[in-house]
Amino acid sequence: MTVWRDAADIVGDRLYAIHRQARLPFERQPPVIRYRGGRLAPVLLIPGVYETWQFMRPLGDHLHGLGHPIHALTELGYNRKSIAATAAVAQRYLDENDLRDVILIGHSKGGIIGKHMMVTDDISGRIAQLVAVNSPFGGSSLARFAPNPALRVFDPRNELIVTLAGNVDINARITSIYSRLDPIIPGGSHLDGAVNIELPMVGHFRPLGSADLFQEVALAIARR
């Protein structure tokens, strides 16, 4: 029965992603500046590949309600640039806005971008921590079969993935939160040396709308 439940949840995960993406063009998009107020540490949302910042909006809304200023990189569009190029854009945003003690929250590719920033781009020390959600820190075995180059970059043999994985010192400032079963990342998102939190759910996308994730992200920020 567990196998069938997991299979149904995997289908539900894909339907969640399709539904969210289909709704985005029709949702009323509040000005990003609306989220800038707050007395707590600033948060920068970094979505996954083929996701706009709006895909992470439920989590952003929750954290803003707790008092965090929320920042989003609207110029990324659907986040199809390379990891290094996107990390440079994100770091430039932090520098130009003089943001400090920043909490990066990245989904999937966004977590890899966040680690790249911490390892390479953040020479001014603006980033306090990274909270990654279902991020393929060790790559994904499925990536090598992907028809799209934007997805093949997550091949575990990719030079950048290998290089970032080899930098373990920075992992102490990372919290990796991931599903019990992620159909996109068969090897999981456990990261040695990081705080690792497994959610009792199946899926790659559905956690972004989960109250369990909201709670764990808030706790991760509080522990820093």
pLDDT tens digits, 49-103: 999 999 999 999 999 999 999 999 999 989 999 999 999 999 999 999 999 999 9
Q: Bridge-partner residues for 177, per DSSP? A: 133, 197
pLDDT of res. 27: 63
Q: Is 176 helix (H, G, I), strand (E, B) or coil?
A: strand
pLDDT of res. 169: 95
Reference 137, options 85, 98, 192; nearest CA is 192
What's the maximum distance between 2 C-alpha atoms anywhere in the chain? 53
Beta strands in the chain (DSSP E): 43-46, 70-72, 102-107, 127-133, 174-181, 195-202
pLDDT of res. 218: 96
Instruction: Please check the confidence at residue 26 and state whether its pLDDT lies above 70.
Output: no
Amino acid of residue 119: V
pLDDT of res. 166: 94
Structure tokens that stand for 159 in this block: 């030079």
Confidence class for position 15, pLDDT limits 50, 70, 90: confident
pLDDT of res. 148: 81
145 vs 155: CA distance, rounded Å: 9
Query: Percentage of the chain surpassing pLDDT 70?
Result: 95
11 vs 47: CA distance, rounded Å: 21
Q: How far is CA 140 from CA 173, 189, 192, 205, 212, in A?
A: 23, 9, 16, 15, 24
Kindly report the average pLDDT of the chain as a whole number.
Answer: 92
CB 44 within 8 A of CB 105: yes
Reference 154, options 174, 129, 178, 134; nearest CA is 134
